[in-house]
Structure 1
Amino acid sequence: MQFHFAHNNFNVMDLEKSLAFYKEALGLVEVRRKEAPDGSFILAFLGDGSSKHQLELTWLKNWEKDSYNLGDNEFHLAFETDDLEGAREKHRAMDCIIYENKQMGIYFIVDPDGYWIEIVPEKK
Structure 2
Amino acid sequence: MNFKFDHNNINVLNLDKSLAFYKEALGLEEVRRKVADDGSFILVYLGDGSSKHTLELTWLRDRKEPYDLGDNEFHLAFRVDDFGAAYEQHKKMGCICFENKEMGIYFINDPDEYWLEIVP
Shorter-normalised TM-score: what interval? over 0.9
% identity of equivalent residues = 70
Runs of 5+ consecutive residues of structure 2 not aligned to the other structure: none
**1:40-60 alpha-carbon deviations (Å, 9 max, x no partner):** 000000000000000000000
Query: How do residues 51-62 of structure 1 correspond to structure 2 at under 5 angstroms?
Result: 51-62=51-62
**1:12-54 alpha-carbon deviations (Å, 9 max, x no partner):** 0000000000000000000000000000000000000000000
Partner of 1:71: 70
Partner of 1:88: 87
Partner of 2:19: 19
Partner of 2:5: 5
Q: C-alpha distance in 2, partners of 1:83/1:103? A: 18
Question: Which portions of structure 1, spanning 4 or more consecutive aligned residues, are displaced by more than 6 angstroms?
Answer: none
Secondary structure of 1:23's aligned partner: helix
Q: Which amino acid aligns with 1:45?
A: Y
Runs of 5+ consecutive residues of structure 1 not aligned to the other structure: none
- CA-based RMSD of the aligned residues comes to 0.5
Partner of 1:33: 33
What TM-score results when the alignment is normalised by the length of structure 1?
Answer: 0.96
Q: C-alpha distance in 1, partners of 2:52/2:108? A: 23
Partner of 2:108: 109
What TM-score results when the alignment is normalised by the length of structure 2?
Answer: 0.99
Secondary structure of 1:34's aligned partner: strand
Q: C-alpha distance in 2, partners of 1:63/1:112? A: 15
Q: Which amino acid aligns with 2:47?
A: G
Partner of 2:99: 100
Q: State the shift of 1:81 in Å.
A: 0.5
Q: C-alpha distance in 1, partners of 2:46/2:81? A: 20
Q: C-alpha distance in 2, partners of 1:42/1:18? A: 13
Q: C-alpha distance in 2, partners of 1:73/1:30? A: 25
Q: C-alpha distance in 1, partners of 2:74/2:111? A: 16
Secondary structure of 2:92's aligned partner: helix
Q: State the shift of 1:63 in Å.
A: 1.2
Secondary structure of 1:42's aligned partner: strand
